[in-house]
Amino acid sequence: MNRKQFLKSMLGLTLGASTMIGATVKAADTIKVGVLHSLSGTMAISETALKNTALMAIEEINAKGGLLGKQLEPVVVDPASNWPLFAEKARQLITQDKVDVVFGCWTSVSRKSVLPVFEELNSLLFYPVQYEGEELSQNVFYTGAAPNQQAIPAVEYLMSDEGGAAKRWYLLGTDYVYPRTTNKILRAFLKNKGVKDSDIEEVYTPFGHSDYQTIVANIKKFSAGGKTAVVSTINGDSNVPFYKELGNAGLKATDVPVVAFSVGEEELRGIDTKPLVGHLAAWNYFMSVKNRGNRSFAKMYKTWAKRNGVPNLDTVVTNDPMEATYVGIHMWAQAVKQAGTTDVDKVRVAMAGQTFKAPSGFTLTMDETNHHLHKPVMIGEILPNGQFQVVWKTRKPIRAQPWSPYIKGNEGKQNL
């Protein structure tokens, strides 16, 4: 070995060693938390606010002294509304960045894409959005609603005298797993209630679809045959052209109410909501809910947005998936504290039965066995200012049924 080579290898050794030391020092200082939300593409309209909420909650925990004497360190990645990229980014977060937990995903197709990664590497995902159910994983905690905590009560409400006694149903969605499965459950449920197949119409559009002329015209036509309600599972920025067309075509909520499962305060920002007054959304939280916890939650987010220069500051809102993200992070932190470690298997055990006083005004409980939250159901109507007025809600949080009883073969599958 000549001198040059020797120097080179020595240099390499020292470099390697120093980075290793750097890494261990860093790892000892902080607990890394992955944030996996689309910050570009068709889903950015919904998911960007969830990234903000996650960062805000992490700051809040850090300000109170962190966890186990360490600070939390967020690692934010952008999977760009690209489903396979979600899996890649998840793997990168777990194996390269060595995060202890990931908060992320909105669409079910992205969750399905990362699920094998989390199961293979035995890591934890907190999923904050209402979804279609029909899934349970050791590695996922679902802090959004299952169908019996959102879709079914909403349809029951519209069937009731109070909700307008709808007889015909127009199921409209974006073409992927969540709307398809939800509509399958709803169809089974409606049939169970004696609605005929000819009174149900199921229509799908691609992601990012922007021409809703034909569909709105068809809804009008369909509604001539009897009191009709539209159940919309349109996701992402397609909602903007859909509601614009609805408003321009003069289809009022008193004639044909549209209940949406993926439209909240955030999606209505920047749409003129005056023609949309009375259309509905079903969630487990609304920004307009009045209680002290919610006031401070909304205020905390506004302050955070101001400090971090979020665009369109003066109109920032909070919504249901943001609340679910917030609840998820705090429950995880409680579980880590209780377990005394961030070890996935121990945290999982500690999660069961955790409770948290949520901004919705209810104390939410993580179910002992099925990884879902017990949540209250609220149905809101759009007001002229883009907020929702709660017109119906459950008195108590209800337990999730991830496996819908209306789909055959699901009996006895409720728990992990």
Partner 1 sequence: MLQGIKRAIGCALFAIGLGVSPAQALDADAVSGLASEDFATRMAAIDAIAASSDAAALELLQLLQNGEVYLTEDGQVILEFDEIVDAVTLEPLDPEPDFYDSVIVNNRMRSKLSTAIAALSLLSDDREVRYDSARALEDAEDPQLLPVLAKALSTESDPEIRALLVHTRAVLQLKSDDPDARLQAAEALGESNQRRVRELLAAMLQTDASGAFVEPVEEVREAAEKSVKSIDRRLLLIDHAARLFSGLSLGSILLLVALGLAITYGLLGVINLAHGEMLMIGAYATYVTQTIFRQHFPEAIDWYVVAAIPVAFVVAAAVGMVLERTVIRWLYGRPLETLLATWGISLFLIQLVRQIFGAQNVEVSNPSWMSGGVEFMNIVLPYNRIYIIGFSFFVLALMWLMLSRTRLGLFIRSVTQNRAMAACVGVPTSRVDLMAFGLGSGIAGLAGVALSQIGNVGPELGQSYIIDSFMVVVLGGVGQLAGTVYAALGLGVFSKFIEPHIGAVLTKILVLALIIAVIQKKPQGLFALKGRAAA
Q: What are phi and psi of 269, to 5 degrees?
A: -60, 135
Q: How many Cβ atoms from other residues are within 10 Å of residue 203's Cβ?
A: 17
- The answer to whether 148 contacts partner 1 (rule: CB under 8 A) is no
Q: What are phi and psi of 194, to 5 degrees?
A: 90, 15
Segment near partner 1 (CB under 8 A); pick from 20-28, 100-108, 121-129, 218-226: 218-226
DSSP-derived pairing of the beta strands 373-374 and 363-366: antiparallel
- The answer to whether 245 contacts partner 1 (rule: CB under 8 A) is yes
Q: Are 389 and 380 in contact (CB under 8 A)?
A: yes
C-beta closer to partner 1: residue 281 or 373: 281
Q: Which residues of 247-286 are buried (b: 16+ CB within 10 A; e: fewer)?
A: beeebebeebbbbbbbbbbbbbbebebebbbbbbbbbbbb
Segment near partner 1 (CB under 8 A); pick from 99-107, 112-120, 248-256, 296-304: 248-256
Segment near partner 1 (CB under 8 A); pick from 37-45, 127-135, 181-189, 395-403: 37-45
Q: What are phi and psi of 350, to 5 degrees?
A: -70, -25
Among 45, 54, 145, 185, binds partner 1 (CB under 8 A): 45
Q: Report the C-alpha gap between 323 and 213 in whole angstroms.
A: 34
Smallest separation (angstroms) from partner 1 to the CB of 225: 6
Among 29, 120, 211, 345, binds partner 1 (CB under 8 A): 211
Site residues (CB under 8 A) for partner 1, limited to 115-144: none
Site residues (CB under 8 A) for partner 1, limited to 357-416: 381, 383-384, 389-391
C-beta closer to partner 1: residue 146 or 271: 271
Segment near partner 1 (CB under 8 A); pick from 129-137, 145-153, 155-163, 402-410: 155-163
Locate 268 and state its tokens.
């209505």
Q: Are 153 and 380 in contact (CB under 8 A)?
A: no
Q: Report the C-alpha gap between 186 and 173 in whole angstroms.
A: 13
Give the residues lining the site for partner 1 (CB under 8 A): 39-42, 44-45, 48, 78, 161-164, 175, 203-206, 208-211, 213-215, 217-218, 220-221, 224-226, 237, 240-241, 244-245, 247-250, 253-255, 257, 269-270, 272, 275, 278, 280, 290, 311-312, 381, 383-384, 389-391
